[in-house]
Amino acid sequence: MHKTLEEIRKLPEGIIKAQKAFEDFTAKYDFKLPREILFTGCGSSHFLSQLLAMATTHLGGRGVALPCSEILYSRKYYPVGNPQLLVAISRSGETTEALRVLDETDLPKLGIAAYDSNLLAKSDYALLVDTPEESVVMTHSFPAFLFAFQQLLNYSFEMPLYDAERLSELSMEVLKNEEYIRGIVEEFDFRNVIFLGSGILYPVALEAALKMKEMAIFWSEAYPTFEVRHGFKSVADEGTLVVLLVDEPFDWHEKLTKEFKGQGARVLTVGKENTGADYFVKIPGPSIPESTALYLSVIQLLSYYKAVKRGFNPDSPRFLSKVVKW
């Protein structure tokens, strides 16, 4: 079996490990997150940093996320504000650009990685989430990092903690859709895919599009949900799958679904209820942001099966390496 599939399926234990990482962190450091935080990462870790920034802002803080290279070379164009902490994310903890940002930033630093690494060594506070992966592509460690940080946010901002055991069980329930998702890919040989999400589900859509590129070397796009009507939707036709990530749909989501079907596209809705789509995967349990991690397995499985269908080996995509260096 592909390592990638094994690792996607590890989310239930990933959430438990994330809880452990959070507990180890609070046992080790007498530290609470400040209100204003600058987040950074590259690729998937950048989308993760967008998620963490949004979770921070949602709780009344101010989270800003920038890709490492934009901090290094174009920072003057971004409203960074006056952060009291830099949070840097890298699965390997060895990404050149992330290490450089740490070296060049004069702020307290919190690093998040899956390995004892230079990133953690250079950080004042190390959040080590024990979810190593053999595949090139980041899968279950992404929602695990997210959950560990969400707990740290709840703890720091004096909000009730999430129930890790329960979320882990819910993630098992979501993973039961594997055959259904595989079936969509088998039945509909789509030529491109558009992921849509609003708010904290927008970076999930971005990460979904990236997974699809990495694993399936495939035409994939992502937009803030209703932005797609402003020009982007021209590329959607009978060869297109639209994946609508939505926690609490309202009438515009149904209209949008109908509009895409009118263009010949098929729609997969992932969320609390169907919007009149051709396909539907239910995300059980609490609302976003708590349930955000659960959306990730669905889009990872979709990319995985598309890769297999297209004859690619998702474990080692062409032109990519596990750690990006300069």
Site for its own copies in 294-323 (CB under 8 A): 317-320
* Interface segment toward its own copies; rule CB under 8 A; list 13-21, 58-66, 125-133, 144-152: 58-66
Q: Cα separation of 196 and 202, whole Å?
A: 7
Q: Cα separation of 293 and 217, whole Å?
A: 24
Q: Taking the complex as a whole, how short is the minimal distance between the CB of residue 77 and its own copies, in angstroms? A: 4
- 187: Cβ–Cβ under 8 A, 6 or more apart, which residues? none
Q: Cα separation of 267 and 265, whole Å?
A: 7
State yes or no: residue 94 binds its own copies (CB under 8 A).
Answer: no
Q: Taking the complex as a whole, how short is the minimal distance between the CB of residue 99 and its own copies, in angstroms? A: 14
Contacting residue, 81, 132, 183, 284, with its own copies by CB under 8 A: 81
Contacting residue, 33, 174, 210, 244, with its own copies by CB under 8 A: 210
Whose CA is closest to 97, among 41, 153, 176, 48?
41
Q: Taking the complex as a whole, how short is the minimal distance between the CB of residue 54 and its own copies, in angstroms? A: 4
Q: Cα separation of 290 and 301, whole Å?
A: 21
Of 30 and 326, which CB lies nearer to its own copies in the complex structure? 326
Contacting residue, 227, 238, 258, 287, with its own copies by CB under 8 A: 227
Alpha carbon separation from 208 to 73, 130, 222, 223, 284 (Å, rounded)? 27, 23, 8, 11, 19
State yes or no: residue 46 binds its own copies (CB under 8 A).
Answer: yes
SS (H, E, C) 51-84: HHHHHHHHCCCEEEEEEHHHHHHHHHHCCCCCCC
Q: Cα separation of 5 and 314, whole Å?
A: 9
Contacting residue, 28, 29, 32, 73, with its own copies by CB under 8 A: 73
Contacting residue, 1, 27, 30, 77, with its own copies by CB under 8 A: 77
Q: How many residues contact its own copies, by CB under 8 A?
A: 57
Site for its own copies in 257-286 (CB under 8 A): 263
State yes or no: residue 106 binds its own copies (CB under 8 A).
Answer: no
Residue that is written with structure tokens 């399926």 in the block = 9
Q: Cα separation of 92 and 112, whole Å?
A: 9
Interacting residues with its own copies (CB under 8 A): 42-46, 53-54, 57-58, 62-64, 67, 69-70, 73-74, 76-79, 81, 97, 137, 192, 198-200, 202, 210, 213-214, 217-219, 221, 224-227, 229-236, 252, 255, 263, 317-320, 324, 326
